[in-house]
Structure 1
């Protein structure tokens, strides 16, 4: 199967999942008409989503899985969700990292997508508790020559915090917390399990929540990367209120009503991939959001 076909399949599954969550369930025959694909294609997509644990197949269709607040999906399962939105968010967020800056990257699949876009920015100092993000920088650090691998000029200096590894390939716990407490960052880029007006930023992992609190306290600017499906989701433990966030980077799937609520609370809202969106700034200035 070609890369284009794989991308179309990912986009189709994202649309199916969105329909399931929005309507509380879908029927196969409705999806075949809406997506203009065969019955067999829809059933295969539902099989994939069921294996990822995000829908439950029922006779003739599928319904959402009622996740427990403490349930933490693995990295691979989360990677398969909203891939296009994550790439658009990563593209917009990458513009916020400056050459020679000191940044922090927390865990998660959207932050990993961002890390892959930051590897070519010269002289970054990156502190991360994401094993995947650290690997992205490590793989980009070396140029191949006849004499063997040679360190690339201007390659980032990467500090991996250490700690206990979670299902999402994030390092947490006292070792990670101690490392983060002793450092200071220009910008923190952080993903979330859930974000809401009442609960703020939340995660199902208690240890990760504590590590994230230290990240937030150590950063001069906090940038949250969250696709539209995270809005209204609440995990077991909150680690920051919306008042502690400087910028939210999301995608065009976020409803207009939610955008209005967020713009009232945050200094900046960036809707990646939406040419009609604007960033709302508390001091009254406005500027165009990500225009690709």
Structure 2
């Protein structure tokens, strides 16, 4: 493959996956690590991507950029599936479970269907539809509010609906994870709603694939101190893994490509 074609593949992969590792690119392209590093340097200088330790990530977007649900649902699919399956053992029959808006929490919702007597609280139209459309017998409480591009319900009505609720466990999806800003979103009203969900929850678990690292929305949802656990994937850069291990009680990394990671089995998980 010619250098120009190879760099086009790398740039396209980074745009789709958000964060990629040099080793993965080298394996998929059948070239050396040094060749990939030189390609990343060239693409970085051309403004096509951002070079990071051990890989590359998509260029930083405006802190107000908010992709729609349909676009986000096509990104990092295997990682989100593996993360959702790793989260499933945390849920037990009879729990009151919060699911914030997002495509990873939406993926998790599908895996919760076989459980019994759950009370699901969500501000996500898409997530509520998973339970309604399946004929599930779970109790589902969908907040009111105004709808965002991510199909989240936000605003005073949504906030008010959370004031007297108490959740055993909250699974929170995020737009970005930043070393300084913590967990963030580009929608200020959605951040306010997420904070209301956190305030109502005994335990908060963030579900975020590796592409969320280094992305910062305009509004912070939570600091690292407010989160008990984060489930991500092995694509998370090494410096991010080290940073999060030092600041979170638990960090779980799943490998969607490892043996035993199919939808019918438990994913491979590294716990820290």
1:65-84 aligned at under 5 Å gives the runs: 66-84=60-78
CA distance in 2, matches of 1:271, 1:174: 36
Q: TM-score, normalised by structure 1?
A: 0.71
Q: Contact 1:202 / 1:240 at 8 angstroms: preserved in 2? A: yes
* CA deviations over 1:194-217 (Å, ceiling 9, x no partner): 012211110000100101111111
Distance 1:64 1:15, change over 3 A: closer
What is the deviation of 1:231?
0.9
The 5-angstrom pairing of residues 147-166 of structure 1 reads 155-166=137-148
Mapped to 2, the partners of 1:200 and 1:64 lie a distance apart of 19
TM-score relative to the length of structure 2: 0.76
Query: Could you tell me how far apart the structure 2 residues matched to 1:20 and 1:161 are?
Result: 31
1:206 aligns with 2:206: no
Asked whether the 8 Å contact 2:176–2:212 carries over to 1, the reply is yes
Q: How far off its partner does 1:66 sit?
A: 4.5
Work out the CA distance in 2 between the residues paired with 1:105 and 1:212.
10
Question: Runs of 5+ in structure 1 lacking a partner?
Answer: 1-11, 24-29, 37-54, 57-62, 143-154, 281-292
Q: Name the counterpart of 1:246.
A: 228
| Equivalent-residue separation in structure 1 for 2:20 and 2:110 (angstroms) | 31
Q: In the alignment, what sits opposite 1:8?
A: none
Whether the aligned pair in 2 keeps the contact of 1:248 and 1:269 (CA below 8 Å) is: yes
- Relative to structure 1, the CA distance from residue 218 to residue 13 in structure 2 (aligned partners, 3 Å threshold; closer, same or farther) is farther
Task: Name the counterpart of 2:159.
Answer: 177
Higher-Rg member (1/2): 1
Which residue pairs with 2:250 in the alignment? 268
Q: Deviation per CA, 1:127-147: give whole Å up to 9, x if none.
A: 0001011000112226xxxxx
Residue 22 to residue 97, structure 1, CA distance change in 2 (3 Å): closer
| C-alpha deviation, 1:16, in angstroms | 4.5
What is the CA distance between 1:94 and its match in structure 2? Answer: 1.3
**Following the alignment from structure 1 to structure 2, what is the Cα–Cα distance between the partners of residues 79 and 14?**
17
- Tell me the distance in 2 between the aligned counterparts of 1:223 and 1:19: 23
Q: Which residue of 209, 214, 217 maps to 1:232?
A: 214
Write out per-residue CA displacement over residues 30-85 of structure 1, whole angstroms, 9 at most, x where no aligned residue: 99x8179xxxxxxxxxxxxxxxxxx89xxxxxx95542110100000111110110
Residues 114-168 of structure 1, C-alpha deviations (whole Å, 9 max, x = no match):
00111111000000001011000112226xxxxxxxxxxxx21000011100001
| Cα root mean square deviation, aligned | 2.8
Gaps of 5+ in 2: 1-9, 32-47, 50-56, 259-267
Runs of 4+ in 1 over 6 A off after TM superposition: none
